[in-house]
A and B are shown apart, each in its own frame.
Chain A
Amino acid sequence: MSDDPKVRVLSATHLARNILFQGETISILHDISLDVYHGDSVAIVGVSGSGKSTLLSLLAGLDLPTSGEVVLFGQPLMSLDEDGRALLRRRQVGFVFQSFQLMSPLTALENVMLPLALAGETNARERATDMLARVGLAHRLRHYPRHLSGGEQQRVALARAFVGGPALLFADEPTGNLDTVSGAQVIELLFELNREQGTALVLVTHDADLAERCGTVYRLAQGRLSAERS
């Protein structure tokens, strides 16, 4: 990616998402537009059930909107099929989830190597080892997720998300399952990596401290998005 801060990595225009429930159409998101540029950090806050996770799914191309358009790295997502969107994610996007979502049969190191192996990249082992050292887990390389604490699991997830050098990282409540101390550590790491790699961050969170650290904060209420701070 270019270092030019003006490069737009994500653009959403007039997004809407409806679902059909027992014959009735329920509108979850209406007319949402936002842009994210290289190196930005964007927080989306809102109460439970306001549609934050649904919006994240649409922005990351995990799901498709009922109407409107998402353009990721200049590619309109509607023009790609599911596999095309998967390939785009593989090359450019990282994810961090509230419930960590590590592969339980794989060690910490293997979990971090996974995206590199999937992309067919070389030096996966060295790069994954370096990244785990970077998040402070050099001594936990061969540990399985079940032997790690919540904070450690989330740090492995951060390493996995950043190891491929993504241009854009989506995080869904990254501190939601962590205690205050672990949460603070993870937030610190997240922004350090954001700065080091110039990765744009899009976070969905309840955590006021986390939202506070972001450059832009949007609030989602009753399916509508409003800028709270920019």
Chain B
Amino acid sequence: MKRLAAAWRFAWRELLSGELTLLALALLVAVCATSSVAFFADRVRQGLTLHANQLLAADLAIESDAPLPSSLVLSARQAGLQVSGSQTFPSMVTTAGAVALASLRAVPDNYPLRGEMRVRLADGKVRVGAWRPAPGDAWADSRLMARLGIRLGDRLRLGNLSLRLSGELLREPDGALAGYSFMPRLLFNQADVTATGLLGPGARARWRLMVSGQPVAVDAWRRGVEARLPAGARVESVEDARPELRSAMTRARRFLGLTAMLTATLAAAAMMLAVRRFLARQWQPVAVLRCLGLTGTEITGLFATVLLALALIGGGLGSALGYGVQAALAGIAIPDAGETLPPPAVWLIGLGPASALLLLIGLALPPVMALRRVPPSAVLRAEVPPRSVGMGLPPLAILLLIALSLWQMDDWRLAGWLLAGMSGYFLVAGGAAWCLVLGSRRLSRGEGAIGWRFGVAALARRPWLAVLQVVALSTGLMALLTLTVVRTDLLDAWRQSLPPDAPNQFVINLQPDQVQDFNAMFAAARLPMPEIAPIARGRLLAINGRPVQPAQYRDEQAQRLAGREFNLSWRDAPPEANRLVAGQWWSTAAVDEFSLEQEMAQAMGIRLGDLLTFDVAGTQLVGRVTSLRTVAWNSFRLNFFVLAPRAMLASRATSLVAAFYLPPAQRGFADRLVRRFANLTAVDVSDVLDQVREVIDRLAQAVEALFVLTLCAGVLVLWAALGATRDERLADAALMRALGASRRQLRTVVLAELLWLGGFTGLLAGSGAMLLGAFAGWKLLELPLRCNGLLPVLGLLCGMLLVPLAGWPLLRRVVRQTPLSTLQAR
């Protein structure tokens, strides 16, 4: 007990005397950074799910082509869930003078369970909230109102029932999910369904059961019912139905994971330096303790106790601080975060102390074990013999911490790539630093007055420390460069992946002989020409001669593709928003080749070179897969799973599809098109586009807010890296002053070392940031591979500016101190 008390006193005094300050601070920032990122990422993730659920108008929806069994509704109620349901079916809507086909939807009084309805009522005001039409009322969208030529307050007829048009439907929360309805929409109260007489046997209706409640209860219910859903029913999630939203969420998760990884790496680098410095200074006191009779086990116990206490206290404090920081960040990024974002998961509170412990064990165990071997005779020798410490553990701890932060990406293959990349970077930076040491040795051999050569030589005098310093400094600078320059590039590229003029209107069923007139209307309205693609409906019959059966696939999408017809198109050149990932694009003379979207090919087990047989309008088309493509589904361009050469499909294309952008002021143009060409069907996806854009913007803001914390960690690394050699520099300077060096000479020496170090680490960091940025853009955000060649130069300049700037206090102290004070301190 007394020994423990002595150890505590020693640790406490070490902390007070400043010996542990840097380590404690680095630990605090490390934990604060990783845990705040984890807290924040978790909240954003939960928030996104909530947001996604709002797009479902529920927490979970089951869609079916037949009425769902009442046992399902009963089981949901028994599970404590709120239940709502709707029916959607096509039918004619009539008024006194007009008839139009519309998609009708009957909703109950508790619809929507999540999300908001947007409607313009007869008073002209827009209402947003949990609104729905009252019995006897109907709401129609602008397309239906235009087709029928009616206004709010007019009456319309559904089957046997007459309803009053009381609102213009602006947005249904789950409207986008209901299949971008090709038909105009009409919403009415479920209480009126029977009276219409439309929903009899044989009606082509879709039933939708929606539930909401505690996430755990919803999940449990989902697991329970999924296996016993009737045929034709399926659980619908927003990610299944909205590939562009899924893509935005995946990117955001990857981005947050990347930021967390950089922060963790930085903080760990700072800690590694701080631990090294703290324990290096304990060599002599430990030798004294050994003389006083402390055993090796007691020495290990002493430092283990000190570090364990530090890990627990620092981890707890860091975690609490992290919680506060994420709350502040969330507030900055999302104005009403307190209400819209759920609190982070409780178990994440343990992440701080756990990562602190992991870091300290990994980083401090080797030097602590080395302290155990300090010979007591070291107390009699002025020089402390260098001792190698277990070099394997610190990188392992850092990699583990990085892995911990990458886990937030939910993509182990990508995380593995990044982990391998970071390990590779450490190795290359270490190797390059060793070359720098050798180069410094060579450079410093020249003769002359004390000046820059002496400064450069300082690196060669402490080779291993210099290597550690270069790796840590360059990692810090790389992270800063990645987050300042590359981040802006990446976020801009991400935002631009959905440009302001992305197509928001689609027109199907366009005939080849209408194209000229169709385009002429765009020219007359001074609108940019639409993107037009031919379509042929086809069904995949066989792969390498073996018939394709939906039942042979487990993947839901593969089942759908195997079981039904889908759109094929022909092209001479690869579409713009596509990237060839395998094989080669065909020549213009090609007749029997196919190009497949990569994920579809993967899901259906189709490989390059496989022979596919399609049935297109009764004709069997056979060809080999000669290329695989990735498709930017979120580009809102015309994209196809399967493309063929012109010679194969041109004569079989039945119609054309067009995509174009209409500014808000010209939305009426789509109706003019439909009136001019009666066979056309127009689909407006501007709501969907707006929602995706909003999600991207919100996520980009969140990522930018996290950057502040990473910046702090980066600054700490700079401080720790320069502090690592502070004592040695001060001692060198004191000796030089004692030997008669002028202030000017000392300033030159220190500045030369800092400039040389800064330039080199900056160059390394710039090159690393260039590669990391290119990789992040390519693999994380699926952007074209692009290297910013200016980054190494920028890195060099930044390093030469930042490192001397960060080292300025040291420089001042070196120049101002009296040699006696430092020599006495030694």
Contact = CB atoms under 8 A, between A and B. Distances in A.
A118 B377 contact: no
Given A86-B295, A87-B293, A106-B10, A124 B2 contact: yes
A82 interface: yes
A63 B377 contact: yes
B170 to A, nearest CB: 70
Contacts of A89: 291-293, 376
A117 B376 contact: no
A60 B292 CA distance: 11
Contacts of B284: 101
Contacts of A104: 17, 285
Contacts of A99: 382
A114 B6 contact: yes
A87 B297 CA distance: 12
Given A101-B288, A103-B285, A121 B2 contact: yes
Contacts of A106: 9-10, 13
A105 B294 CA distance: 18
A119 B6 CA distance: 11
Contacts of A146: 825
Contacts of B382: 99
Contact of A82 (B2, B13, B296, B825): B296
Interface string A67-88: 0000000000000001100111
Most buried by B among A63, A103, A120, A124: A103
B291 A62 contact: yes
A90 B296 contact: no
Interface in B256-297: 284-285, 287-297
B10 A105 contact: yes
B6 A117 contact: yes
A56 B380 contact: yes
Contacts of A116: 2
B14 interface: yes
A105 B6 contact: no
Given A103-B10, A117-B3, A95 B291 contact: yes
Interface string B2-24: 11011001100110110100000
B175 interface: no
Most buried by A among B10, B19, B297: B10
Nearest to B825: A146
Contacts of B296: 82-83, 86
Contact of A83 (B6, B297, B380): B297
A83 B17 contact: no
A172 interface: yes
A191 to B, nearest CB: 22
A110 B9 CA distance: 9
B375 A63 contact: yes
A52 B9 CA distance: 35
B337 interface: no
Interface in A104-162: 104-106, 110, 113-121, 124, 146
Chain B interface main SS type: helix
A117 B289 CA distance: 12
A118 B379 contact: no
A91 interface: yes
B291 A120 contact: no
A197 B825 CA distance: 34
Contact of B379 (A62, A82, A105): A62
A97 interface: yes
A117 B5 contact: yes
Given A103-B288, A105-B16, A53 B294 contact: no
Contacts of A87: 293, 295
Interface residues of B, number: 34
A20 to B, nearest CB: 14
Size class of the A contact interface (CB-based, 8 Å): 35 or more
Contact of A90 (B5, B6, B285, B293): B293
Interface string B53-81: 00000000000000000000000000000
A118 B9 contact: no
B13 A114 contact: no
B379 A101 contact: yes
Contacts of A11: none
A198 B273 CA distance: 48
Interface in B97-118: none
A95 B292 contact: yes
Nearest to B378: A62
A29 B15 CA distance: 43
Nearest to A110: B9
B508 to A, nearest CB: 79
Contact of B380 (A97, A114, A117, A118): A97
B288 to A, nearest CB: 5
A86 B379 contact: no
A88 to B, nearest CB: 8
A79 to B, nearest CB: 16
Contacts of A118: 3, 6, 289, 292-294, 298
B380 A172 contact: yes
Nearest to B14: A105
Contacts of B9: 106, 110
B745 to A, nearest CB: 29
A104 B6 CA distance: 14
A113 B6 CA distance: 9
A35 to B, nearest CB: 22
A87 B379 CA distance: 17
A99 B376 CA distance: 15
B352 to A, nearest CB: 27
A199 B705 CA distance: 68
A91 B292 CA distance: 9
Contacts of B292: 89-90, 95, 114-115, 118
A57 interface: yes
Contacts of A101: 284, 287-288, 291, 379
Contacts of B377: 57, 62-63
Contact of B2 (A91, A95, A120): A120
Contacts of A83: 295-297
A88 B298 CA distance: 15
B376 A105 contact: no
A89 B291 CA distance: 7
A210 B318 CA distance: 56
A172 B288 CA distance: 13
Nearest to A106: B13
Interface in B368-387: 375-377, 379-382
A105 B375 contact: no
A156 B274 CA distance: 31
Contacts of B19: 105
A131 to B, nearest CB: 15
Contacts of B291: 60, 62, 89, 95, 101
A75 to B, nearest CB: 14
A82 to B, nearest CB: 6
A155 to B, nearest CB: 17
Most buried by A among B16, B291, B297, B825: B291
A158 to B, nearest CB: 14
Given A87-B295, A90-B294, A57 B380 contact: yes
Interface of B: 1-3, 5-6, 9-10, 13-14, 16-17, 19, 284-285, 287-298, 375-377, 379-382, 825
Interface of A: 53, 56-57, 60-63, 82-83, 86-91, 93, 95, 97, 99, 101, 103-106, 110, 113-121, 124, 146, 172
Given A60-B376, A62-B377, A118-B293, 10 more contacts: A53-B381, A82-B295, A86-B294, A89-B292, A101-B291, A104-B285, A105-B14, A115-B293, A118-B6, A146-B825
23 contacts: A60-B376, A62-B376, A83-B296, A83-B297, A86-B290, A89-B292, A90-B292, A90-B294, A95-B292, A95-B379, A101-B288, A101-B291, A103-B10, A103-B285, A105-B19, A113-B6, A114-B292, A117-B3, A118-B292, A118-B293, A118-B298, A120-B2, A146-B825
Pairs A-B, 10 closest by C-beta atoms: A90-B293, A105-B13, A117-B6, A83-B295, A62-B377, A62-B376, A57-B377, A63-B377, A89-B293, A105-B17
